[in-house]
């Protein structure tokens, strides 16, 4: 019965998310519903002592990353840098390789720190233009954007400043460059298989005589010929984010050591700060600040005309994204405290002895249930992180491998139909789940397979 209660709560949250309701409201309702069925007298203590504590803890740690990432993405968009990069890649690759061009631009923007949601909005007008020119069915656009933005540069490639690659650093005391070779190989695996799949879908449609199609909704306006920033200048902020992320990752621990003790500066009531848990987060935040400043230095004239409105939009988006994920984190904290979850954990631990496989299965399952890579990842590591570290230490597994497996697993089954990014992407492109979700789900399966591929590589060859 305890397990059934948990499943009811999880499926309820998944259902309301699929229907488009806000998880900010329904995550606590689903969590407290599970508590109510378990023990009605525990509802209020669980709300304040577990749900709100977990939610506020997540916001305290990660809100600056969401905020700076959203602002960076917005100024990249407002400055015309995103359009410039897109045009340059299209010119380099050629319009005949429309799918590859869109995937590469999405990868560049995501790896440079631009929010996944921003990438979806920025890429669609160019994808539509290219797909029309090449007469590729519009229904393949979401799968193409998903491969470029939601996969290998989100959680596999080392150094990516996306939140899915940052969260594990606080649990394993690693940095965003953890397991670089495993991440690079795993990411290239996803790219190669994903492009093979998309090209197969394109050829199949062409053979059937299917073109771009007519009668579509949300068709973008024709992209005007305009004077855009130089592509080398446009890509500079993205490069600087990556470079300074690495620089700060190295410098911060050297400067602060392992602990910052406030008593040394006369503050007796403030607890010490553990630097290894925060160094990677601070590194990304510092790198994003440099990226934002660089965009403003080179394109202030383009940005200033609509700066206030644009920044307000990005702040609103950051708040919404943070609260969505934090609510799911609070929900996970409540579920993890219930008797049924202990039974599920014990069952999985007894069934799956290997810590890497257990971590991958647990993380991707929770990401799928919550419809959020960062939410599922946070829940999995909050409940099982210490156990994985202990098991890995006993077996001699490098914590960097735990980091990379967890990060990639979070981007596995997260893109189920109720995922917020999936719903946004389909809405932006004017398509439905029935028309285009099959291609997004194919990317979901490829990402999930890639996790077990890198685990096999580690065990067979010791690659880190």
How confident is the model over 175-198, as pLDDT tens digits? 899 999 999 999 999 999 999 999
Q: pLDDT digit string (tens) for 43-86?
A: 999 999 999 998 998 888 888 888 888 888 788 878 888 778 87
Instruction: Give strand pairing partners of 259.
Output: 274
Instruction: Kindly indicate the confidence band of residue 349, based on its pLDDT and cuts at 50, 70 and 90.
Output: low
Cβ atoms 186, 156 nearer than 8 A:
yes
Cα–Cα distance, 444 to 403 (Å, whole number) = 20
Range of lowest pLDDT (153-167, 323-337, 403-417): 323-337
Beta-strand runs (E) in 28-129? none
Mapped onto helix, strand or coil, the DSSP state of residue 292 is helix
What is the chain's length?
Answer: 464
**Cα–Cα distance, 315 to 309 (Å, whole number):** 10
- State which H helix or E strand residue 386 sits in: helix 373-395
DSSP state of 223: P
Note the maximum CA span of the chain: 75
Positive or negative: CA dihedral 29, 31, 35, 38: positive
Roughly what angle, to the nearest 10 degrees, separates helices 163-172 and 373-395?
40
Tokens standing for 54? 């977990």
Of the candidates 132, 78, 77, which has an alpha carbon nearest to the alpha carbon of residue 105? Answer: 77
Cα 102 to chain center, whole Å?
A: 19
Half-sphere exposure at residue 333, Cβ-oriented, CA atoms within 13 angstroms: 20
CA atoms within 13 A on the CB side of 169: 28
Is a pLDDT exceeding 70 seen at residue 224?
Answer: no
Tokens describing residue 92: 């380099």
Angle made by CA atoms 402, 407, 408, in degrees to the nearest 5: 105
Best CA proximity match to 85, nearest among 295, 259, 339 = 295
Most confident stretch, 126-130, 380-384, 411-415: 411-415
């Amino acid at each position: 019965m305890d397990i059934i209660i948990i499943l009811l709560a999880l499926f309820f949250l998944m259902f309301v998310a699929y229907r488009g309701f806000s998880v900010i409201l329904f995550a606590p309702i689903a969590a407290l519903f599970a508590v109510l069925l378990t023990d009605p007298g525990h509802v209020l203590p669980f709300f304040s002592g577990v749900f709100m504590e977990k939610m506020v803890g997540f916001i305290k740690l990660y809100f600056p990353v969401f905020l700076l990432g959203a602002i960076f993405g917005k100024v990249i968009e407002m400055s015309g840098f995103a359009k410039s990069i897109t045009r340059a890649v299209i010119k380099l690759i050629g319009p005949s390789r429309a799918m590859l061009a869109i995937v590469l631009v999405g990868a560049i923007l995501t790896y440079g720190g631009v929010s996944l949601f921003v990438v979806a909005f920025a890429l669609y007008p160019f994808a539509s233009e290219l797909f029309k020119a090449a007469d590729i069915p519009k229904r393949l656009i979401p799968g193409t954007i998903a491969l470029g933005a939601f996969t290998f540069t989100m959680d596999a490639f080392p150094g990516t400043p996306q939140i899915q690659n940052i969260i594990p650093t606080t649990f394993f005391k690693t940095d965003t460059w953890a397991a670089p070779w495993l991440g690079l190989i795993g990411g290239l695996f996803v790219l190669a298989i994903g492009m093979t799949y998309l090209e197969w879908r394109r050829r199949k449609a062409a053979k059937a005589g299917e073109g771009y199609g007519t009668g579509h909704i949300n068709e973008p306006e024709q992209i005007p010929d305009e004077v855009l920033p130089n592509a080398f200048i446009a890509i500079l902020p993205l490069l600087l984010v990556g470079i300074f992320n690495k620089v700060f990752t190295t410098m911060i621990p050297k400067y602060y050591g392992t602990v910052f003790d406030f008593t040394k500066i006369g503050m007796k009531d403030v607890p010490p700060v553990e630097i290894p848990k925060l160094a990677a987060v601070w590194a990304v935040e510092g790198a994003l600040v440099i990226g934002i400043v660089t965009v403003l230095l080179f394109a202030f004239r383009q940005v200033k005309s609509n700066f206030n409105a644009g920044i307000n939009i990005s702040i609103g988006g950051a708040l919404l994204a943070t609260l969505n994920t934090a609510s799911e984190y609070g929900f996970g904290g409540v579920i993890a405290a219930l008797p049924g979850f202990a039974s599920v954990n014990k069952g999985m631990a007894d069934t799956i002895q290997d810590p890497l496989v257990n971590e991958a299965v647990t993380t991707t399952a929770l990401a799928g249930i919550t419809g959020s890579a960062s939410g599922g990842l946070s829940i999995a590591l909050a409940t099982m992180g210490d156990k994985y570290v202990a098991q890995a230490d006993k077996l001699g597994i490098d914590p960097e491998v735990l980091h990379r497996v967890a990060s990639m697993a979070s981007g596995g089954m997260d893109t189920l139909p109720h995922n917020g990014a999936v719903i946004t992407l389909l809405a932006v492109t004017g398509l439905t789940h029935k028309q285009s979700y099959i291609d997004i789900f194919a990317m979901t399966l490829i990402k999930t397979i890639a996790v077990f591929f890198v685990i096999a590589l580690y065990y067979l060859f010791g690659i880190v």
